[in-house]
Structure 1
Amino acid sequence: MTRLLTPWETGLLAIFVITVSLNAAFAPEFLTMQNQINLFQLSIEKIIVALIMTLVIINAEIDLSVASVMGLSAALFGYLVNAGLGGGAAILICLAVGLLAGLVNAVLVARVGIPSLVVTLAMLIGFRGLARVLVKDNSLGNFPTWFTELGQKGLIGPIPLSILLFFVLLVILGITLHRSSFGRQVVVIGTNAEVARFSGLNVARVKTTLFLLSGLISAMTGLLYAARLSSVRGDTACGFELDIITMVLLGGVSIFGGKGSMIGVFLSILIILNLRNGMGLINMTGHIQTGVIGVLLIASVLVPNLIADLRGRRAHS
């Protein structure tokens, strides 16, 4: 019989239950409907990007430029709208720029053969620089009312568009990863790209598709972020990479590729959202919250390696 949860996912589920219990005990307002919506809404852009980042890392790649693409998309929208372009046309241009950013990463990684860590780190700096050139030190607003309402008002009852998009993408990408031939190719290539190539898989095409999706989804979330805040700056979404990668690795996705599940990442997302929300409700500063996330990032890489090392020693003893 197929096991529903791996041991790592079972541990995440236990941590999630403990976290929710502690939050509810120390902050009575935690369980209110509005707080649960806020819990998702305040980090919604990060958790959407974490879904596509899951596939990228399982494929043994990484995209450090996602937050910079978010910032560039948001800044470009603000620039275009304030220059007199219609909101609809500006959105299409921003999404196209996101695809272009993903294509640049894809060509350099999948075709030229430069490691994705190097490429996307360079693009992190480059795309962020472009955003700052567009916005300079200003804060741009004056967005169309319909645009800001997409980010701030409920689409179905009190639930905004961004949260609905998250759950739709969670299902689509979960099915893609675990129930499609493309998902199997992502895993096989992440396990050993050379073996996959000799087996007849089009490695470059799979990697190109993932980076294009990463660029497109990052640009889309940048627009959602701009709509939610009603303004943009050159440093919009700066530093979001830390939370996004932590969510993925804490979910049991191997940093070396070839291993991971969407359910593990979803549980990890729930843990981090509840941790941040709980710390906020008891007035912990943002610096402390970031420190906790940093510790989780280290633990998510260190603990699996320690477990694998212990298993290896037992096998040889």
Structure 2
Amino acid sequence: MTIEASAPAFRTIPDRLHGRWRALAGSWEALLLGVAATIFVADALASPYFLDLTNLSDATFTFTEKAIVALAMAFVIVAGEIDLSVGGTIALASTAMGAAAQTGAGTAELVGVGLAVGAACGLFNGFLVARVGLPSIVATIGTMSLYRGISYLVLGDTVYNGYPDSFGFFGQGYVWGVLSFEFASFGLLAVLAGIVLHRTTFGRAVRAIGNNPFAARFSGLRVERIRGVAFLLTGLAAGLAAVMLTARLGSTRPSIALGWELDIVTIVVLGGVNIQGGAGTIPGVVIAALVMGLVTTGLGLLNVPGIIMSIVVGAMLIAVITLPILARRLLHRRKPA
């Protein structure tokens, strides 16, 4: 009786350690908020102009287009897939808009062209993965080269410009005072994405497929169709990002959005989305986008070269993939027998 009664006491310390690690893993968003607050303070100390409302609003231009694509990419990764063609999709959509602008297309037509091309690219990716059965990483690496290659073929060394003045609002406009249109759009889309992923049958189906596609198929879910829709959403988001980026730059080059795939995947994974699928939250992605934006802004304030920024982003991606693995191993070692 004495031994049995005292046994739980011997397990108290390991249990507490295990519980703390579980609480830490379950509060990833809180940790990200802490990181974001720390970086915000560092940026404010780095420049006396950082806290100006206009400067803060302008700083959102550094990440909102990527963040919008990341919201849709979260669905793809939660479903256990990945889309590495988003940068190429943006380039192709921008090239199509540029070609349309040369024929005198108006702002509404240009926006329609950008969204349509993005959706078409997403549909094609979904067809290759869901219908043909290609691994998503293989299929989207191929389409990444295909889409950007078409842009280089069409443009070569030339540049498309001459967009209507009204078109610039989508990348340079402000609403409600100093709030940029891009950031306002990102906020609305984040709310919508959060509702869809966390409050709808489609969101539950996406998570189920990411956890176990075979069980999901046997439970009656249309796995291929849901995967196809996830890729369609990502292509559509890339098309919207192409509209905003092209409007902000006022021109189109075939190198537009080059290397954005790494940044977008980093935002999603940094936001706590499991790279293997099945788990993740939209609030986490939103906070991760803010962290990435603050990091980029801070490095810019310090005049850090772009190549160093790429190194930082790559290191962040490796870290956020590695840390959960190490945490799980530590949990396993500390778990009482």
Q: What TM-score do the two structures reach when normalised by structure 2?
A: 0.89
1:193 paired with 2:208, answer no
Give unpaired runs (5+ residues) of structure 2: 1-22
What is aligned with 1:229?
249
What is aligned with 2:232?
212
1:169 paired with 2:193, answer no
What is aligned with 1:282?
302
* Aligned with residue 254 of structure 1, among 274, 285, 293: 274
> d(CA) in 2 for partners of 1:276 and 1:93?
30
Q: How many aligned residue pairs are there?
A: 315
What is aligned with 2:116?
96
What is aligned with 1:72?
92
1:204 Cα deviation from its structure 2 partner:
1.1
Give unpaired runs (5+ residues) of structure 1: none
- Cα RMSD of the aligned pairs, angstroms, is 1.7
* Aligned with residue 331 of structure 2, among 275, 288, 311: 311
> d(CA) in 1 for partners of 2:31 and 2:170?
36
What is aligned with 1:111?
131
Q: Which amino acid aligns with 2:39?
A: T
Deviations 1:52-105 (A, max 9, x none): 111110111101011111111111111121133344333323322221111111
1:236 alignment partner, SS class: coil
1:219 Cα deviation from its structure 2 partner:
0.9
1:226 Cα deviation from its structure 2 partner:
0.5
1:42 paired with 2:50, answer no
Q: Is the 8 A contact 1:250 1:268 kept in 2?
A: yes
1:296 alignment partner, SS class: helix
> d(CA) in 1 for partners of 2:27 and 2:169?
42
* Aligned with residue 82 of structure 1, among 98, 102, 109: 102
> d(CA) in 2 for partners of 1:9 and 1:265?
9
What is aligned with 2:311?
291
1:139 Cα deviation from its structure 2 partner:
1.5
Q: Is the 8 A contact 1:75 1:233 kept in 2?
A: yes
Q: Is the 8 A contact 2:53 2:178 kept in 1?
A: no
> d(CA) in 1 for partners of 2:213 and 2:174?
44
Q: Is the 8 A contact 1:150 1:160 kept in 2?
A: no
> d(CA) in 1 for partners of 2:31 and 2:178?
32
Deviations 1:109-158 (A, max 9, x none): 11121110010110000000111122211111110011013321213322
> d(CA) in 1 for partners of 2:115 and 2:286?
25
> d(CA) in 1 for partners of 2:238 and 2:227?
16
> d(CA) in 1 for partners of 2:166 and 2:211?
45
Q: Is the 8 A contact 1:27 1:281 kept in 2?
A: yes
1:313 Cα deviation from its structure 2 partner:
2.5
> d(CA) in 2 for partners of 1:304 and 1:10?
15
Deviations 1:158-197 (A, max 9, x none): 2232211101100000111111111111111100100000
1:316 Cα deviation from its structure 2 partner:
6.6
> d(CA) in 2 for partners of 1:60 and 1:11?
24
> d(CA) in 2 for partners of 1:19 and 1:164?
22
Highest CA radius of gyration, 1 or 2?
A: 2
> d(CA) in 2 for partners of 1:32 and 1:86?
35
Deviations 1:2-43 (A, max 9, x none): x9x932222212211211121122222111111211221122
Q: Is the 8 A contact 1:63 1:117 kept in 2?
A: yes
2:335 alignment partner, SS class: helix
Q: Is the 8 A contact 1:99 1:215 kept in 2?
A: yes
2:312 alignment partner, SS class: helix
